[in-house]
Structure 1
Amino acid sequence: MKESNMARADFLTSIFFVAFGIAVLIMSAQMPTYEARGINPYSAPGIVPGFLGAIIALFGLILFVRSILRKGHHLGINGRTIRNFFTAEQTARLFLTLVISVLYALVLVGRVPYAIATGVYCFVFVLLFEYKLRTPILQQWKTLLFALILAVATAASVTAVFQYLFLVNLPG
């Protein structure tokens, strides 16, 4: 990205971070405190997310002020910039990532074992972004092998960390 566009990018990003931080802070404040059970209020499950949400909002606010001082609030949005945004390769990649991530979360997780769902997601993700449609499949055996190894390693390691280190019961 050009340096001239960074102030605008910082401006838009800061708005997202402030809103996200505030939303996390509000949701963490709504989490149970377990004071009725005589549990220490500092061990409530919303303490850490609330603290992190406040930090994210604060840093977003700092970025917001800095971007305004650098004239980032002059977005220069017009028909050409909107068309360029929606025809850019980066935007297509963003939407493709969003679609496969939503499919992973809504279709795979909970219906098939977590490790398999995660492996399939990683494999498909690598293939979508590395596979070349105009090249024969046999010439791309390294890409397929890499995608398979990465998918198996990621699924195994993520599953192991969540199950045995964090003691989380995974769906599926």
Structure 2
Amino acid sequence: MKSSTDDSTDLAIRARADLITAVVLIALGLLVTYLSWTMPRLEARRIHPATIPGLVPIMLGVLLTLCGGLLGLRSWRIEAPGGWQGLVALFGTQQTRRVLAVLALALVYTLVLVGWLPFWAASMIFIFGFIVLFEVYLTDTPVALWRSVLWALAIALAGGGGIYLAFARIFLVRLP
């Protein structure tokens, strides 16, 4: 059973995490709003103002900014003694390393591999790297490297080949 001290510490950490999340949401909402506002309006094609490209994204950007502001206001008003220290300590945990590893792998996959390599090859590399990283390095009970590499290679070949076969050949989707 948790004590009231643990509950107040958890609340303080969540309040500070919500404050950081609010800043990110506000920044993202403002960016979406700006990019939507600067989209071509297509006046030369006599597009009705209610159907312009960017209308829905600009509304979503404004709403995202508003929700981020409300979250920030709520988390700012919560008294959170020790919240920042607890949040910083939370970033040193194994779970945080795993989340950051997934984020890094996803960013490398989407921003580097896709577009530079054929989609099936990028997917193979992503699957292989993901399996090896999480079976050997970011686990509580590591598997032998050679075993993980063989397993990851088999899964990556089957996954990448399956992706290519299913989408490019069966569904006739043009892959990047």
Instruction: Give TM-score, length-normalised by structure 2.
Output: 0.67
Q: State whether structure 2 residue 62 is matched by structure 1 residue 54.
A: yes
Unmatched tracts of structure 2, length 5 or more:
1-8
1:132 pairs with 2:123 = no
Counterpart in the other structure of 1:116: 121
Map 1:1-172 → 2, pairs under 5 A: 2-72=10-80, 77=84, 82=88, 84=89, 87-129=92-134, 131-132=135-136, 134-136=142-144, 144=152, 147-148=155-156, 151-152=159-160, 155=163, 170-171=175-176
User: Aligned partners of 2:58 and 2:82: how far apart in 1?
Assistant: 32
Question: What letter is aligned with 1:66?
Answer: R
Deviation at 1:114, TM superposition (A): 2.1
Change (3 A) 1:35 1:99: same
Paired amino acid for 2:136: K
CA contact (8 A) 2:127 2:152 kept: no
Q: Deviation digits for residues 96-127 of structure 1, max 9, x if unmatched?
A: 33443343234322222223323432342243
Range that drifts further, 111-120 or 55-64: 111-120
Distance 1:71 1:154 in 2: 52
Give the direction of change, closer, same or farther, for the CA distance of 1:107–1:10 in structure 2 (3 Å limit): closer
Counterpart Cα distance in 1 of 2:153 and 2:175: 27
Secondary structure in 2 matching 1:132? helix
Q: Distance in 2 between matches of 1:29 and 1:154?
A: 40
SS of equivalent to 2:64? helix
Deviations 1:4-58 (A, max 9, x none): 4111111111111111111110111011111112122333221122121111111
Provide the rounded CA distance (Å) in 1 between the counterparts of 2:155 and 2:63: 36
Q: Which moved more, 1:138-147 or 1:23-32?
A: 138-147
* Structure-1-length-normalised TM-score: 0.68
From the CA coordinates, give the structure whose radius of gyration is larger: 2
Relative distance call for 1:58 and 1:81 in structure 2 (3 A) is closer
**Preserved CA contact (<8 Å) 2:13 2:87:** no
RMSD: 3.9
- 8 Å CA contact retained: 1:115, 1:159: no
